[in-house]
Amino acid sequence: MEVGQMQRRLLEYTKSLFMEGVLDNQFLQLQQLQDESNPDFVAEVVSLFFADSERLLNDLTRAIDQPTIDFKMVDSHVHQLKGSSSSIGAERIKNACVAFRNFCEEQNIEGCMSCLQQVKQEYCLVKNKLETLFRMEQQIVAAGGSIPMMELSF
């Protein structure tokens, strides 16, 4: 496949992530911080997000599995996950965390358990989609092309 075609596919794929609500404008702002001096900036930030999120999801799972749930601790973990997902533009994770925090405030065990599953699903979706995005970018660079910048014109 020629570079121009790969670049168009990447832009269409990226646009679909915004249209589906997977990502928001914060991700574009993150991309704008990337330049020639730090070409892997976004991938590195997202990789740190993945590692931190997996730790938080494991902590949340353990906390909710306790006989007596410490809702303040659960809320603290959800708050951290909401903040980090917001900082990379992972809109659907952030939105799921908002609902999760409401259930923590109500001390609603069933609601928390349901939200934990939703947050895990949204996390897996975002991780798979972003890994695909980064693979597409790597293929373009390997073929000698440059990564086209996404513009919010849709």
Q: Is 20 left (phi over 0), alpha (psi -120 to 50) or beta?
A: alpha
End-to-end CA distance of the chain: 26
Contact 89/23 with Cβ under 8 angstroms?
yes
The C-alpha atoms of residue 146 and residue 100 are separated, in whole angstroms, by: 40
> Cβ neighbours of residue 127 under 8 Å, at least 6 residues apart?
50
pLDDT value at residue 35 = 86
- Given a cut of 70, whether residue 153 has pLDDT beyond it is no
Confidence of residue 152 (pLDDT cuts 50, 70, 90): low
Contact 82/53 with Cβ under 8 angstroms?
no
The C-alpha atoms of residue 19 and residue 24 are separated, in whole angstroms, by: 9
List, for residues 12-56, the tens digit of each pLDDT value.
Answer: 999 999 999 999 999 999 999 998 888 899 999 999 999 999 999
The C-alpha atoms of residue 57 and residue 74 are separated, in whole angstroms, by: 10
Task: Extract the tokens encoding 25.
Answer: 């404008």
Confidence of residue 154 (pLDDT cuts 50, 70, 90): very low
List, for residues 65-104, the tens digit of each pLDDT value.
Answer: 999 999 999 999 999 999 999 999 999 999 999 999 999 9
